[in-house]
Amino acid sequence: MRTDLSPASSVDRRRVAIATVVGTAVEWYDYFVYASAAGLVFGTLFFAPAGHGFGTILSYLTVGVSFLFRPFGAFLAGHFGDRVGRRPVLVATLILMGTATALIGLLPTYEAIGIGAPILLVLLRILQGVSAGGEWGGAALMAVEHAPRDRRGLYGAMPQIGVPIGLLLASAMMAAMDALFPGDAFLDWGWRIPFLFSVVLIAVGSWVRRRVEESPVFAEIAERKEQTKAPIIELFARFTPLVMLAALVFAGSSAVGYMTTGGYIQGYATNPDGPLGLDRGDVLWAVTASSVSWLLATFAAGWISDFIGRRATYLIGWCLQGIFVLTLFPLVNTGQISLLIAALVLLTLGLGLTYGAQSAWYAELFPASVRFSGVSISYALGSILGGAFAPAIAQWIQQATGSSANVGFYLLGMTALGLVGTLLLRERKGIDLSPSREAEQEVGIYAWEKVPPRDRPLV
């Protein structure tokens, strides 16, 4: 059996790294294709009677409504992930997400079937939310629990970079469809093809994920027959403050990230009745470029965190993110594509540093028996507090105040919340993750704890 003292082979680790990157990229490609379409076409095709302004808000709300069901997905995934293993949950979430995405590509519009169109759209979006709620925790733990103790940040960055890769694929696919199906052709059929393409990605992702071994930590839990019967109940009975603080950390980055991943910047910049009215294809390519810088910053953050710690990496990230949310709209509002790209690229520097170390830090925060439940539910709750309705809130602020600067202040406030959550948690780099050391894993989690020197986690 493999534990922290007997790590997985280099071949196994590479296979797991590839599987987490590919699977997460596919899963989030599906999610971001929806968000991009919400900012570009869904307001017109599914919410036309509400008018352009309110129809756009309703479209963004469908992006957010799926987040309300992420905790349900996280509860299911956490329960089964801590009971039957990480790998089966990962395959199931991938198939559910891809199926829902492909069906969205086949939906009739409001013009064709009336109110049934937005209802079906919301139902399929809910399925996406259930899937996304269970996806991240499993991918993060598979990567971190297979990794050597001194390289958890690097390996934990693998599922994290799958997210910007998914954004890159989604934005590039939408931009390509805009070029191939210009004008009304994009509204008629062009937007559907990226959704239908998900069928191909499901097949690839499922094949890759089925080839990896189960997490060595869960394998040890199963061999010892120590699976927790009710991991969710145990988690909240013993670690509710930890769940809430970890959720607060993710809320600070997800609110900012969803300015592009949630489709807000795309809709804001291309709105023909708005202050900019930029070309749809140019904006999509700008978002594609920023996804590359986000990928690089995220990967660098995971690597850096193995040297300076997860908490220190986050603190640097919050400072950069706070600066660049205030420069975002002044640069975007110039109406120049080059400065739009610069604004988004700068934003991703802070965003990457508050995201790349997340897998490793979350895995090191929670004890083995409730780890899947803990990381999944914290992530899901953080996405509700932060990213769920960030595009809709930003749209409302813009319309109510007539000033994009106020959207920047809103994002700065969310960044501050993430900073507070980070300051209240302790560095845990290098702590033993195996089930046999669970007593040690429960000590030294919070910054206000007084930890005896002999019980302090390895750093």
Q: Are 440 and 427 in contact (CB under 8 A)?
A: no
**What's this model's pTM, rounded to 2 decimal places?**
0.83
Encode pLDDT of 294-335 as tens digits: 999 999 999 999 999 999 999 999 999 999 999 999 999 999
- Averaged pLDDT for residues 53-78: 80
Question: Rounded to an integer, what distance in angstroms lies between the CA atom of residue 53 and that of residue 48?
Answer: 10
Distances, alpha carbon 203 to alpha carbons 243, 260, 425, in Å: 34, 27, 40
Q: Which of 82-86, 278-282, 291-295 has the lowest mean pLDDT?
A: 82-86
Residue 271: the pLDDT is 85
Give me the DSSP letters along 359-407: HHHHHHHS-GGGHHHHHHHHHHHHHHHTTTTHHHHHHHHHHHHS-THHH
Identify the burial level of 151 via C-beta atoms within 10 angstroms of its C-beta, where 0-12 means exposed, 13-18 middle and 19 or more buried.
middle
- Which tops the pLDDT comparison, 204 or 114? 114
Distances, alpha carbon 251 to alpha carbons 110, 247, 338, in Å: 33, 6, 29
384: nearest Cα among 242, 239, 266, 258: 258
Residue 376: the pLDDT is 86
Tokens standing for 72?
């349900």
Tokens standing for 33?
């294709």
Name the CA radius of gyration of the chain, rounded.
21
46: nearest Cα among 27, 60, 32: 60
* Domains in the chain: boundaries: 10-206+229-455
- Percentage of residues in the chain having pLDDT higher than 70: 90
Highest mean pLDDT among 228-242, 344-358, 382-396 belongs to: 344-358
Residue 218: the pLDDT is 60
Q: Which of 219-223, 350-354, 366-370 has the lowest mean pLDDT?
A: 219-223
To which CATH superfamily is domain 10-206+229-455 assigned? MFS general substrate transporter like domains (1.20.1250.20)
Q: Please enumerate in sequence order all residues whose Cβ is within 8 A of that of 172, keeping only pairs 6 or more positions apart, or say none.
A: 284, 285, 288
For residue 3, name the pLDDT band (cuts at 50, 70, 90).
very low
Residue 114: the pLDDT is 93
Identify the burial level of 103 via C-beta atoms within 10 angstroms of its C-beta, where 0-12 means exposed, 13-18 middle and 19 or more buried.
middle
* Number of residues that this document lists for the chain: 459
Residue 2: the pLDDT is 42
Q: Are 332 and 340 in contact (CB under 8 A)?
A: yes
Identify the burial level of 184 via C-beta atoms within 10 angstroms of its C-beta, where 0-12 means exposed, 13-18 middle and 19 or more buried.
exposed
Q: Which of 49-53, 270-274, 342-346, 418-422 has the lowest mean pLDDT?
A: 49-53
Angle between helices 231-257 and 310-332 in degrees, nearest 10: 40
For residue 1, name the pLDDT band (cuts at 50, 70, 90).
very low
Encode pLDDT of 83-106 as tens digits: 766 677 777 888 888 899 899 999
Tokens standing for 67?
């987040």
Question: Rounded to an integer, what distance in angstroms lies between the CA atom of residue 280 and that of residue 283?
Answer: 5
If you search the block for the tokens 């499901």, which residue do you land on?
202
Identify the burial level of 255 via C-beta atoms within 10 angstroms of its C-beta, where 0-12 means exposed, 13-18 middle and 19 or more buried.
buried
Q: Are 100 and 124 in contact (CB under 8 A)?
A: yes
